[in-house]
């Protein structure tokens, strides 16, 4: 019996078969590419951490080079909580296990910010004391520290995440062994306006943080992004013209995250020795 190719049954059956075949092929391709995609994400994270150190040997390191160089420079991976308590401590000899969610390398500050930090800040807007209390008591918020030992010096790469004008912003900053002076930085964003807020990821903006400090007379003093053209002190950098709200987001991100790191370094002086 010949098939009636003009019938609705044939058309539906043919479409169904094609959807199954194409869907299966797309799923196969996706699964095949997943390990490569994960490796790229991992290498890009290593690249950002290394570039943030601010030393000549890691400036300009590529994503392809990062995997081979990471353990050469990063000798220790430490995770602390909001109270500054160490909850994980790994050395370069400890392989990064993707299943170890407390390994500093596996801490996803963007995800934690979205899930735990932002809801607390939104529900308690205007009540800074309550926000600090709830953040401090949370067991879901973590802060990674990557220790670099090079040329007889110690450097500490720390991380920060927040919200810009449109979406996530984040960054890595390197703190010298005094626990307060910035040696390098790398910033990035998910969707800031091209040619405006997106410039936080440009070298000229990042390099402004080098030599700046997050303390004065032994007390925490946040780094801040100011309107361009203003006379700057040792805790301030020039902002980006037309990107006021991105600058506000960077300020909030740095003030909230660096306070935890500064208090940790200050309260644990043996860590920086």
Residues 6+ apart with CB under 8 A from 205: 187, 199, 237, 240
Q: What pLDDT does residue 30 have?
A: 66
d(C-alpha 218, C-alpha 209), whole Å = 19
> What are the DSSP E strand ranges found in the chain?
74-81, 86-91, 142-150, 153-163, 168-176, 182-189, 215-216, 219-220, 224-226, 236-238
Residues 6+ apart with CB under 8 A from 270: none
Q: How far is CA 176 from the centre of its chain?
A: 19
Q: What pLDDT does residue 273 have?
A: 83
Q: What pLDDT does residue 167 have?
A: 93
DSSP 233: -
- Determine contact, residues 47/66, Cβ cutoff 8 Å: yes
Strands 236-238 and 224-226: parallel
Q: How many beta carbons lie within 10 A of that of residue 59, not counting itself? A: 12
- pLDDT, averaged per 10 consecutive residues of the chain (273 residues), comes to 61 79 75 65 94 94 92 96 95 95 95 95 93 93 96 96 95 97 96 95 96 95 93 95 95 96 95 88
Q: What pLDDT does residue 14 have?
A: 73
Report how far apart, in Å, the C-alpha atoms of 178 and of each of 159, 175, 234, 265, 268 are. Answer: 17, 8, 15, 8, 12
DSSP 193: P
Report how far apart, in Å, the C-alpha atoms of 51 and of each of 38, 161, 206 are. Answer: 20, 17, 11
Report how far apart, in Å, the C-alpha atoms of 218 and of each of 47, 62, 131, 143, 198 are. Answer: 32, 37, 24, 22, 34
d(C-alpha 262, C-alpha 6), whole Å = 73
d(C-alpha 25, C-alpha 11), whole Å = 21
Q: What pLDDT does residue 72 have?
A: 94
Phi, psi of 96 (to 5 degrees): -75, 115
Phi, psi of 243 (to 5 degrees): -125, 45
């Amino acid at each position: 019996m010949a098939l009636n190719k003009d019938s609705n049954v044939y058309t539906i059956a043919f479409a169904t078969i094609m959807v199954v075949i194409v869907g299966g092929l797309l799923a196969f391709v996706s699964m095949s590419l997943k390990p490569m995609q994960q490796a790229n994400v991992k290498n890009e994270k290593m690249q950002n951490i290394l570039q943030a150190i601010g030393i000549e040997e890691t400036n300009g390191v590529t994503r392809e080079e990062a995997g081979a160089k990471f353990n050469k420079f990063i000798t220790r991976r430490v995770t602390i909580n909001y109270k500054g308590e160490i909850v994980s401590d790994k050395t370069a000899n400890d392989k990064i296990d993707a299943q170890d969610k407390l390994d500093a390398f596996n801490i996803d500050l963007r995800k934690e910010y979205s899930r735990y930090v932002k809801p607390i800040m939104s529900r308690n807007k205007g009540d800074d004391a309550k926000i600090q209390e709830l953040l401090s008591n949370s067991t879901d918020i973590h802060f990674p520290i990557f220790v670099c030992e090079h040329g007889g010096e110690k450097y500490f790469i720390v991380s920060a995440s927040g919200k810009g004008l449109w979406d996530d912003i984040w960054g890595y900053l390197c703190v010298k062994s005094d626990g307060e002076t910035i040696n390098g930085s790398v910033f990035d964003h998910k969707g800031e306006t091209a040619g405006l807020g997106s410039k936080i990821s440009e070298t000229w903006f990042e390099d402004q943080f080098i030599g700046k400090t997050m303390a004065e007379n032994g007390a925490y003093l946040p780094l801040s992004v100011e309107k361009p053209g203003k006379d700057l002190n040792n805790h301030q950098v020039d902002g980006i013209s037309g990107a006021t709200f991105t600058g506000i987001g960077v300020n909030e991100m740095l003030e909230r995250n660096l306070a935890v790191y500064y208090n940790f370094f200050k309260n644990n002086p043996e860590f920086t020795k």
